[in-house]
Structure 1
Amino acid sequence: MVKITFAPVSTQKADKEREADTVVIAEAHEHMVCPVVSNKSFPTCVVCLSVGLLLFLSGLVLTCVFTYRHFYVPQQQIPEDSLFHCRVFYEDAIYAPLRGRQELEEKVGIFLEDNYEQISVPVPHFGGSDPADIIHDFQRGLTAYHDLVLDKCYITELNSTSVMAPRSLWELLVNVKRGTYLPHTYIVQEEMVVTGRVRNTRQLGPFIHRLCYGKDTYRLRHRSSQRQRIKKRETRRCHRIRHFENTFVVETLICELI
């Protein structure tokens, strides 16, 4: 008698099928979940770093542009028709009447939109006068002298009777621009006395602030002829700056009491 049973076979097949199903599902689950997590984290970090670097560079560029425009006046941006190289012949009847005519050389920049003039006087050939940079700010009504020998700045009220307005001076220089020399002229003198020190040059406006920043700066006032006679014997130390900003040459005498 033969006995046949099928239970073990079906049980083994069922176990194999369950094992196979279990293995396939687990592997598929692992392969589907893990790469998705890693792909999300990497681009987020890169984007954050890129945005932060872009903001930092933008702030740095804006800071550089502001500093450059606030503290520097680039000569390359000045129109050519606003720059003049002047040479003036004049008669010196104050100190050297026997010398005959003398020559004054200077560079003039006229800024019509900002309503100010900038004058650069080099070392004179004849001596007796200091080289200087001068600014006439018509908007604030101030004049600044930077004596290049002393490396000091002097501030005074703008004298509109001896200094031509930017438009008028521009028209005068344009009319003589084709010639090498300006017409013969004469010299007048103004005497100034130091009255006190300026601690903060920012209050003087951006143009004078650029000229006098970091330098010893003092205020000036005009000395009347009566005070000159009264204090004739006082000890003074004076420096002369000769410049041209009208139809005549002006000699500014800056004096300090010793």
Structure 2
Amino acid sequence: VGMILKRSQVGARPCRMCPWLCSPQVPRESLFHCGVLYEDSLHSPLRGQLELREDVRIYLEENYEQINVPVPQFGGSDPADIIHDFQRGLTAYHDLALDKCYVIELNTSVVMPPRSLWELLVNVKKGTYLPQTYLVQEEMVATEPVRDVEQLGAFIGRLCRGKDTYGLRRRRARPRISRREAGSCRRIRHFENTFVIETVICKTS
């Protein structure tokens, strides 16, 4: 899938979730407030540990996940709303800084399905820490505009309705993005697995 793996020492704080989630019955919707501490040896090697926070909503019956990444404390990446729709096999990124949507085929090699992610976060809630892991960087290029977002399904259609929306394609693995290219790229850091993902979205060159 054209990813560049950056090894980092990553620790995690337990995810905190709403009290009603402790019910023994599996809820239709689950809300987790999560924070991960990690080191960024690529962009901020002198800052030590950074913190990434996000809210994760998991819809087990509808088989999709919605992630909200607020404005990061130390900058370097954009706030975003993300939907992983496992029924449609699509991922949508709404870059809140640009108010633009980007859509690509769901990458199931890095995104846990709703049931697995729910079980992971419940275990973290119980006091289990995420293991040391990788910071994964994936590079993407914006392609053609999407004229009709309703064809993307109800969940992504609702997220991207009224916004400029573009398709994405993944870049093949290659050397690091040049300084000139970096100026036309946006970064979104998020996690929906046991590692942090940095999604780099660049304009078509």
- Report the TM-score range of the alignment, normalised by the length of the smaller protein: 0.7 to 0.9
Aligned-residue Cα RMSD (Å) equals 2.3
Q: Which residue of 2 aligns with 1:106?
A: 54
Structure 2 residue 146 is the aligned partner of structure 1 residue 198: yes
Contact 2:104 2:168 in 1 (8 A): yes
Q: Which runs of 5+ in 1 are unaligned?
A: 1-78
Contact 1:152 1:217 in 2 (8 A): yes
TM-score (norm: length of structure 1):
0.64
SS of aligned partner of 1:118 = strand
Q: Which runs of 5+ in 2 are unaligned?
A: 1-26
Structure 2 residue 192 is the aligned partner of structure 1 residue 242: no
Q: Which residue of 2 aligns with 1:83?
A: 31
Q: Which residue of 1 aligns with 2:114?
A: 166
Aligned pair partner of 1:211 in 143, 159, 168: 159
Contact 1:194 1:220 in 2 (8 A): yes
Aligned identity (percent) is 70
Structure 2 residue 89 is the aligned partner of structure 1 residue 138: no
Q: Which residue of 1 aligns with 2:75?
A: 127
* Equivalence map 1:2-21=2 (5 Å): none
Distance 1:120 1:232 in 2: 29
Write the letter of the residue equivalent to 2:120: L
* Equivalence map 1:46-85=2 (5 Å): 79=27, 82-85=30-33
1:160-209: CA deviations, max 9, x gaps? 01100100000000001144975665411000001110000011000000
SS of aligned partner of 1:225 = coil
Q: Which residue of 1 aligns with 2:96?
A: 148
Greater share of residues in helix = 1
Contact 2:185 2:202 in 1 (8 A): yes
Contact 2:130 2:194 in 1 (8 A): no
| Residue 90 (structure 1) shift | 1.2
Tell me the matched-pair count. 178
SS of aligned partner of 1:98 = coil
Contact 1:117 1:136 in 2 (8 A): yes
| Residue 234 (structure 1) shift | 7.3
1:5-60: CA deviations, max 9, x gaps? xxxxxxxxxxxxxxxxxxxxxxxxxxxxxxxxxxxxxxxxxxxxxxxxxxxxxxxx
Distance 2:160 2:120 in 1: 28
Q: 1:137 to 1:213 in 2, by over 3 A?
A: same
Distance 2:197 2:99 in 1: 21
**Runs of 4+ more than 2 Å apart:** 178-186, 231-236
User: Which of structures 1 and 2 has the bigger CA Rg?
Assistant: 1
TM-score (norm: length of structure 2):
0.80
Contact 1:86 1:182 in 2 (8 A): no
Greater share of residues in strand = 2
Distance 1:181 1:120 in 2: 21
| Residue 257 (structure 1) shift | 3.2
